[in-house]
Amino acid sequence: MNEQVRELKPSALWNYFTDLNAVPRPSKKEELVIEFIKKFGEQLGLKTYVDEAGNVIIKKPASKGMEGKMTVVLQSHLDMVHQKNSDRDFDFATQGIEMQVDLDWVKANGTTLGADNGIGVATIMALLASEDISHPAMEALFTVDEETGMTGALALKGGLLEGQIMLNLDTEEDNELTIGCAGGMDVTASGTYAEQTTTDQNAFRITIKGLTGGHSGVDIYKGRANANKLMNRILLKLSNELQVKIASIDGGSLRNAIPREAVATIVVSDDNVNELKKAIALQSEIFRAEYHVTDPNLNVSVEITGKVDTVLEDEFQYKLLRSIYACPNGIYRMSPGIDGLVQSSNNIARVLVQSGNYSIQCLSRSAVDSEKSDLVQSITSAFELTGATVQPGSAYPGWEPRPDAPIVQLMSNLYKELFKEPANVDAIHAGLECGILGTNYPNMQMISFGPNITGAHSPDEKVQVSSVQKFWHFLLETLKRIPSKN
C-alpha cells in the first residue's frame, strides 16, 4: 500500500513522508524519530544540532544568488497522535503506518495517518535535500512533544536561531494563512473514593463507539458528540431511574482529541435487567437522532460481563456524575471580534474511574488569557465539590495576530496572484507553537500554512494529494520572494 504513496508527486516529499511514517513517533517517546532526523541532516553534510529537549535544528546555506535574502526558519513537529479504531490490531510502538491512496486522498488503515505534522516534516526534508530549488538560507526546526503539551517549543532557548521569518507548516486548510492561535491549559481532577461490595449478580458493560471525534480545537465548533459526556448522561439516567451501581468508567484517550469511545461496567438488580436494556435502546435512539449529522456511526450497546464484587460508594457516585454533568464541554465563548472563530472551549478528554481511583482530564483553550483562567475556574469549581484535587497542568500562550507583518502581506498577495482568489487570513482555535516560540524570538515574523488535512487526531485522518501539490508550489514561490536583508 505504501508504494502507491511513493509514486505521488512531488515525489521527494511523498517519499520522505513514507520514510517518516515507518518510524514510531508518539509524543514523549520520540527517541527514534529524533535519531532519524539527526542522521538525515548529518548525511546531507548540513550543520545539525539536537538540544536538551530533543528538538532538532538543521541549517542549510542559501542557494546560489539568494545569499542576500533574509534567513527563513521552517518549522514542524516530529510527534504524531497515535489513535486507532478499537477493532484494529495495531502496535504503534513497532509498526509503521499502513497508508493507502483513495482517489485524491492518502489515508491510513484504521489508524491516524500522521499527516499532522508529518507532511510538514517531509516537506522540510525535501527542501533540505534538494539541489535545484531556489531558496534563502534556511533553518529547519523540528520540535518534539507538540501534541501533549508543546514542551519542545517551551524548552527551546533563545539565540539558537538566526532567522527573521518563520514559516510554520502545521495548518490544515490550504486556503488559510494562520497568523494567530489560542493558548491552552491542561486541567486534571483526581482523587480516591470508597468502594462498597455488591450482591447483585447482573453485571453489564455499556459501550459507546463509532463517534467521529477529531481535533479538540479546530473541530470543537462542529458540535460533534463527546463520548465521555454521552456516557455520563446515560449513567446518571440509569442511576436515577434504575438504581444502577457503577463499577468502573473508561472513556477517551488523548487530551487533544474529542473522545470517540467510552466503556462503563455497571450492576443492576434482577428486577431491573429488562428495564436496563430498554433504557439503553431508547437512549441510543435519542443519541442517534441528536447526532445523526455529526456522528452518523454512533453506536451504544450493552452486554453481560463477568461478575463484579465492588462498586462506587453511593454518595461518591452521586457527586461524580453530577460534577461531570456540570463541567463545561465544547464552546465556552465565541470571538466577538472575528466572525465564526471560537474564542474559548473545553474538552473533557479522559475519564478513568476504577479500583478506588479516579481522574478526569480536560484541555481548555482560549485566545484570551483572562477568559482561559475563568474557564479553568469553572472546571475546578465543578470537581472540587466532589472533594477532588484539581491541578492545572502544562500551559502554553496564545499567538497574537500581526496582520500588517511583511510576510503576511507578501504571502497574501502571492496567494491571490497564484490562485486567483484571496486567502483566508485568520487565527485558529488550536495550539500552534508560534506563540511559544515567539516568547524567545519576539522580533521574528511568523505565519502558518499547509495542505488540506481532515480528521486529524482520529483514524479518519487523511491528506489531499492535489492540495499537497498546491501547498508545495506556494511554498517554493514564497521562498523565491523572501525579501532581502536590511
Q: Which residues are annotated as catalytic?
A: 79, 146
CB 28 within 8 A of CB 255: no
Cell 479522559 maps to which residue?
A: 350
CB 13 within 8 A of CB 122: yes
Q: Cα 126 to the chain's mean position, in Å? A: 25
Secondary structure letter of residue 55 according to DSSP = -
Euclidean distance between CA atoms 109 and 119, whole angstroms: 17
Q: Which helix (H) or strand (E) holds 446?
A: strand 445-448
Q: Which helix (H) or strand (E) holds 408?
A: helix 406-419
CA-CA distances (angstroms) from residue 328 to 154, 287, 347, 380? 27, 19, 8, 10
C-alpha grid cell for residue 13? Answer: 516529499
Euclidean distance between CA atoms 75 and 79, whole angstroms: 13
- Ramachandran angles phi, psi of 485, nearest 5°: -65, 150
- Residue 482: closest CA among 65, 59, 172, 117: 65
- Residue 178: closest CA among 167, 162, 188: 167
Q: For 244-341, list the strands marked E by DSSP.
A: 245-252, 262-268, 299-304, 310-312, 330-334
- Residue 153: closest CA among 430, 440, 393, 456: 440
Q: Tell me, what amino acid is at 234? A: I
